[in-house]
Structures are given as C-alpha cells and as structure tokens.
C-alpha cells in the first residue's frame, strides 16, 4: 500500500484536470443547447451573495466571490464565466439562425470599450501597468455590462422562457426579502451595519448592500404589475399568492434597510410602476397604498435620523452629511467631492485616467487605505474624474438611449411581458440616487445588476414580436361536414 500511495498522489492533479475538462465540455454542451441554463446560476450569484463587508465588526477581508481570480487573470472568474456563457449563446444563435435582438445600447458600449482601450494604451506609454488601467476602480466594469446584456437577449427567446425568468426573479426576490426580515426580527439584522457598529446609531438593518434592495425592487415591480394592471393574464392561484407575498415583504424589506438612497430610489421606482396603470387604478392605489408606504418611510426615517448627530430636522436632514459646514472642518463627503471636482476641472476633457487618484484624498478617513483616492461617493463625478467629458458624454448617451427605448417599449408591451419590462425601468430609476451619491461603478455586483436592469426592457420587446405558444392561442372550431 505504501508503494501505491505516491502514484495516487502524483495522479491527483491529472485526475482533477480530466474531471475539469469533462465538466467544461458538459457546460459548453448545455450552453449550446439551452443557453439560459448558464444564465440562471450567474444571476443567482448576483442576486443572493453580498459584495461587501463594509460596516462589519468581523475581520475585514477584501477577497469576495466577485474578485476571485482577478489576481492572476486581471478580472474575476465570474466575469470570465460570463464571457464563456456569452460565447456559447452567440454560437448557438448562429447555428439556429436566431438574429440578435434590437438594442440601441450597442454603439455606446463600443464607445466605452474604445475609451478604455485608449486609457490602457496611454497608461502603458506613461509607465502605468495594464492591471492599474483595467482596474475596477476605473470604469472597466461598464464595459463588462455589455456581455451580460447580450447574453440575456440571446438566451431567452420565447414568451414561455421570459415567463420562467419572471418567476425566477419573483421567487429569489421573495426569498431574499423573507431572509432579510427574518434575520432582522430574530438575529439582529445585517452584520454589515455601519450605523450601529461605527456611528452609534441603534438600529437594525435588513440589508446594507444596495443591490439586495434592488433585487427586492425588481420582484416588487413584477408582482405589482401582474396584480394591478388593467389586462391581467391568467395565472394559477399559487403564483397570485406568491405575488401578494412578494409585494408586501419586498416593500417592508426596503423600508427596513434604513438606506436613504434605497428609500428615495424606491419612491422613484414606485412612480415608474404607477405610470403603467390606468388613471383610475393609479388613484385607487395612491389612496390605498401611498399612506401606508409614506407612514412606514416617515417612521423609519425619524428613527434613523433622530439618533444622528448634526441633524436639525426637515427635508435637509436626509442629506445632512452632504452639506457644507459653516464652522469647523469640512465633512468627509463634501471634502471628497470638492477635491475630485478640482482635479476634474484641471483636466476636463480626458480626466485623470482610469488609474488616477484625486489629490488630497489622504485627508479623508475612509480613503486612508490602499484603494484611497481611487473611488468617491458619486458615480457621475467618478466617471467625470476618471474619463473627463468624453466619459460624461458616453454616460449621458447611454442613459438617453435606454430612456428613449424604454418609453417606447412600455407603451407597447403585451400584458404578460409588461411586468418584466417595467421591472428593468423601475430598477434603473431605483439606482438613480446611488448613481448620484454612491459608488456604483467600482463595484462588480452593482454594475452587473445595472446590466440586468438594462437588458429586461429590450428582452421583453424582442420576445413580444414572437407568436404566443399554441397553448395560449385561441383554438379554431373543428371543421364539420355540412349536408348539401
């Protein structure tokens, strides 16, 4: 036996490689036959796994599932999985002669790719490594949004498959909401609680990560449209029960997140959803639902802000830490924005480069780390600082292209597809506050969640042009012989 053991140990790496090769062939086969089955695990990761430990008292670790593999491969393994899944879907569509669905975002994503390549080229000439130029702290994550949008559009091709995706989002959103509420009620809430752990504000959170509230918003939008639109499609009682549970639990989960950006974003998303209903139904829902939601937000807001130092009351208290102080040292948020604006104005056309750090970041407490100066709390200003007016123009063009298409799509979608189309637009509306005062673009999870929101209206519009399944078509009367 002792003589055999060395051979077994020596053969283990080869056996592992053989199993990995077989698994890769199996995954590629599944991707070529059923591309959407490669999409669901990818979406499940982003819907369910937290991306940050910021605010936690446990030992901090910068390594997450979203960054695994980036040390050797420049980008994380998840993104390489995305690229492989897209390649499978693209090849499968070519063999099956499935045309790429309409998407007016493609030219803008190509613009982002060219801009990133130009920054990488200039960086190499200037002595900046490729790793620094392509770092997520720049704007490379925006380029990685394009493969996910394309993958979703290529993978779900029929109305039945899109309905399956709707049910997946509903179930995952409901599960995340119930998990967050249960943890909040019985186990002290999210451990990543910066308010209680670092600011001495005695509150419990359902979720600190804004993306978990975004998942709840997507599920809320689908449930609300399916339940309250004028022309309802037939659904089993089970799914109607799931939609009612989702509607209540996701809204409560967002309120109890105690994130100001989540509250404001949810109000914007709610307005988008309300516009999908006829005027009479809007009035009914506003009379019945608005007081409940408003009261819940007001109570949570008072509980959140009453314990915060420096809050004087009124609407201005929502942005108490983003206002310039009349006396004493400037607040960190305001100082961060002022320093970044100064560097942007110094190089307005091209910015400081995707690898650049703004001057004076050491004066801000949370920037005193290896990533200091590489990010700031404003997605729009982050793009302006790193890529200048060229990046701002691309960001504006991308947003306007999506808004124009979404407006046309929501006005023409059939009832069974209106929910998922509305969810994408409501998700983008929900993320507007985070784009303005958050850090979305350096985060892999946030940018991929944005890509999911972008893809949903295009997916609904593409599938709406296909014929309904035979089970849903009206059955013509059988032919009968009639006597002459």
393: Cβ–Cβ under 8 A, 6 or more apart, which residues?
none
The pLDDT value recorded for residue 471 is 45
Report the alpha-carbon distance of residue 252 to residue 257 in Å, rounded: 9
The domain segmentation of the chain, as residue ranges, is 160-464
Tell me the HSE value of 329 on the side-chain side, using a 13 A CA sphere.
Answer: 8
H/E/C letters for each residue in the chain?
CCCCHHHHHHHHHHHHHHHHHHHHHHHHHHHHHCCHHHHHHHHHHHHHCCCCCCCCCCCCCCCCCCCCCHHHHCCCHHHHHHHHHHHHHHHHHHHCCCCCCCCCCHHHHHHHHHHHHHHHHHHHHCCCCHHHHCCCCCCHHHHCHHHHHHHHHHHCCCHHHHHHHHHHHHHHHHHHHHHHHHHHHHCCCCCCCHHHHHCCCCCCCCCCCHHHHHHHHHHHHHHHHHHHCCCCCCCCHHHHHHHHHHHHHHHHHHHCCCCHHHHHHHHHHHHHHHCCCCHHHHHHHHHHHHHHHHHHHHHHHHHHHCCCCCCCCCHHHHHHHHCCCCCCCCCHHHHHHHHHHHHHHHCCCCCCCCCCCCCCHHHCHHHCCCCCCCCCCCHHHHHHHHHHHHHHHHHHHHHHHHHHHHHHHHCCCCHHHHHHHHHHHHHHHHCHHHHHHCCCCCCHHHHHHHHHHHHHHHHHHHHHCCCCCCCCCCCCCCCCCCCC
Residues 6+ apart with CB under 8 A from 93: 35, 99, 100, 154
Which tokens go with 395?
């960001």
Residue 305: the pLDDT is: 63
Model pLDDT, residue 238: 92
Q: Are 406 and 425 in contact (CB under 8 A)?
A: yes
Contacts of 454 (CB under 8 A, 6+ apart): 105, 145, 149, 402, 424, 428
Residue of 362, 361, 359, 352 lying closest to 383 (CA atoms) = 352
Q: How far apart are alpha carbons 466 and 470 in whole angstroms?
A: 12
| C-beta of residue 157 within 8 angstroms of C-beta of residue 466 | yes
User: Would you state the structure tokens that stand for residue 53, as one six-digit string?
Assistant: 């430990």
By the 8 A CB rule, do 51 and 211 touch? yes
CB atoms within 10 A of CB 416: 23
For 274, the token pair is: 């309300």
Q: Are 374 and 155 in contact (CB under 8 A)?
A: no
| CA angle (149 as vertex; 453, 444 as ends), nearest 5 | 70
d(CA 484, CA 477): 20
What does pTM read for this prediction? Answer: 0.89
Looking at residue 318, its pLDDT comes to 53
Dist CA 361 CA 339 (whole Å): 8
Report, as ranges of residue numbers, the positions in the chain whose pLDDT lies below 70: 1-2, 5, 7, 9, 55-63, 199-200, 288-290, 293, 297, 299, 301, 303-331, 467, 469-484
CA nearest neighbour of 362 among 353, 377, 374: 374
Nearest residue to 176 via CA among 241, 254, 289: 254
**391 and 379 in contact (C-beta within 8 Å)?**
no
Phi and psi angles of residue 324, each rounded to the nearest 5 degrees, phi first: -70, 140
Query: Which of 143, 137, 135, 219 has the alpha carbon at shortest distance from 453?
Result: 219
What confidence score (pLDDT) does residue 478 get? 45
What pLDDT score does 28 carry?
85
d(CA 215, CA 235): 23
């Amino acid at each position: 036996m002792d003589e055999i053991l060395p051979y077994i140990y020596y053969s283990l790496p080869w056996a592992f490689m053989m199993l990995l090769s077989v698994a890769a062939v199996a995954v590629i086969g599944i991707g070529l036959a059923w591309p959407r089955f490669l999409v669901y695990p990818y979406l499940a990761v982003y819907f369910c796994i937290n991306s940050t430990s910021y605010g936690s008292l446990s030992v901090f670790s910068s390594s997450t599932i979203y960054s695994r593999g980036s040390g050797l491969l420049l980008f994380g393994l998840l993104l390489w999985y995305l690229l492989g899944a897209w390649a499978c879907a693209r090849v499968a569509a070519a063999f099956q002669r499935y045309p790429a669905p309409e998407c007016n975002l493609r030219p803008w994503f190509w613009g982002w790719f060219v801009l990133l390549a130009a920054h990488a080229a200039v960086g190499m000439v200037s002595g900046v490594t490729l790793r620094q130029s392509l770092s997520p702290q720049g704007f490379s994550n925006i380029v990685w949004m394009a493969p996910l949008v394309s993958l979703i559009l290529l993978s779900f091709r029929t109305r039945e498959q899109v309905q399956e995706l709707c049910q997946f989002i509903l179930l995952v959103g409901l599960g995340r909401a119930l998990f967050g509420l249960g943890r909040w009620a019985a186990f002290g809430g999210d451990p990543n609680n910066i308010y209680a752990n670092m600011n001495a504000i005695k509150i419990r959170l359902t979720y600190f990560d804004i993306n978990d509230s975004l998942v709840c918003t997507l599920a809320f939008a689908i449930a609300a449209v399916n339940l309250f639109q004028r022309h309802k499609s037939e659904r089993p009682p089970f799914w109607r029960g799931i939609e009612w549970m989702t509607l209540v639990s996701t809204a409560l989960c967002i309120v109890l997140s105690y994130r100001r950006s989540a509250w404001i974003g949810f109000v914007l998303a709610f307005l988008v959803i309300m516009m999908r209903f006829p005027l009479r139904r809007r009035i009914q829902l506003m009379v019945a639902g608005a007081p409940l939601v408003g009261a819940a937000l007001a109570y949570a807001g008072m509980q959140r802000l009453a314990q915060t130092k420096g809050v004087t009351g009124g609407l201005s208290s929502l942005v108490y830490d983003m206002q310039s102080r009349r006396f004493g040292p400037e607040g960190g948020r305001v100082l961060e924005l002022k320093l970044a604006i100064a560097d942007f104005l110094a190089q307005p056309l091209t910015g400081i480069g995707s690898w650049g750090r703004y001057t004076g970041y050491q004066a801000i407490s949370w920037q005193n780390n290896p990533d200091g100066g590489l990010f700031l709390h404003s997605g729009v200003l982050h793009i302006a600082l790193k890529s200048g007016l060229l990046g701002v123009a691309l960001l504006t063009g991308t947003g306007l292209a999506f808004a124009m298409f979404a407006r046309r799509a929501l006005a023409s979608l059939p009832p069974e597809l209106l929910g998922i189309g509305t969810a994408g637009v409501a998700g983008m509306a929900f993320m507007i506050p985070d784009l303005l005062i958050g850090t979305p673009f350096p985060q892999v999870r946030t940018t991929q969640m944005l890509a999911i929101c972008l893809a949903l209206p295009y997916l609904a519009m593409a599938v709406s042009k296909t014929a309904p399944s035979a089970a849903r078509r009206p059955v013509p009367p059988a032919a009968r012989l009639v006597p002459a």
